[in-house]
Amino acid sequence: ETNQVVANCHKVPAKTFSRELNSIESNIRAFDIMLYRLHRFNPNIKVMFTVSPVRHIKDGIIENNRSKARLLETVHHLVDKFDKLYYFPAYEIMVDVLRDYRFYDIDLVHPNYAGTSYVLELFKQSCMSEETIAVSEKMHKIFLAKKHRPFNPESEQHKVFLDKNYRQCLELSKQYPHLDFGEELDYFER
């Protein structure tokens, strides 16, 4: 109706849209504009690209591969052209390194826990400092603790558990004020 380009829209019926495969050139133009604006907003910005390893097979495996190929070509053109642009090969890791289907969910499209864990570990090793890894591991423990459902919420043991995690959230909040632990602090304070 509006002839505007969209990546996806789940609020409007699919029949409303026509699908077309963008050219590499039009992708590069669109990213050039976006990256120029981002750089003007923040000259020190660093951008990490990756391509989703999820196969979009609704239009067929051939169309999926054509689309991924254009996206990969676009991204590598940009990374070669600009400083402070990087590429993490999540797609290649899943398709070429973990090509065995035991790393995929039952639908054979989505990576399973083992696949995503392997990719995440490689991402951490190649893209995160030791400090960032340590903080992310502490945060992960807090998020897991928040999901924990106690057998006896009134027990002394559970109160100690809540207090320990509350103090951990406070400590991380003081060390890293840009991280928001408001929801977790509220949860562990009860």
pLDDT, tens digit, 9 for 90 and up, residues 133-165: 999 999 999 999 999 999 999 999 999 999 999
d(CA 73, CA 53): 15
In this structure, the answer to whether residues 7 and 77 fall within a common structural domain is yes
In this structure, the answer to whether residues 18 and 57 fall within a common structural domain is yes
In this structure, the answer to whether residues 147 and 173 fall within a common structural domain is yes
In this structure, the answer to whether residues 162 and 145 fall within a common structural domain is yes
In this structure, the answer to whether residues 32 and 77 fall within a common structural domain is yes
Q: CB neighbours of 29 closer than 8 A, spacing ≥ 6? A: none
The pLDDT value given to residue 57 = 86
pLDDT band at 17 (very low <50, low <70, confident <90, very high): confident
In this structure, the answer to whether residues 183 and 120 fall within a common structural domain is no
The pLDDT value given to residue 1 = 62
Instruction: Supply 97's token pair.
Output: 């390194």
In this structure, the answer to whether residues 59 and 9 fall within a common structural domain is yes
Instruction: Supply 122's token pair.
Output: 């490689």
pLDDT band at 6 (very low <50, low <70, confident <90, very high): low
In this structure, the answer to whether residues 136 and 123 fall within a common structural domain is no
Mean pLDDT for 41-58 is 93
Q: What's the pTM value of the predicted model, to 2 decimals?
A: 0.77
**How many distinct structural domains can be found in the chain?**
3
Kind and range of the H or E element at 87? strand 85-87
User: Which CA distances in Å does 149 have to 145, 158, 162, 165?
Assistant: 9, 10, 12, 14
In this structure, the answer to whether residues 37 and 75 fall within a common structural domain is yes
Q: Which domain holds residue 116?
A: 93-127
In this structure, the answer to whether residues 6 and 74 fall within a common structural domain is yes
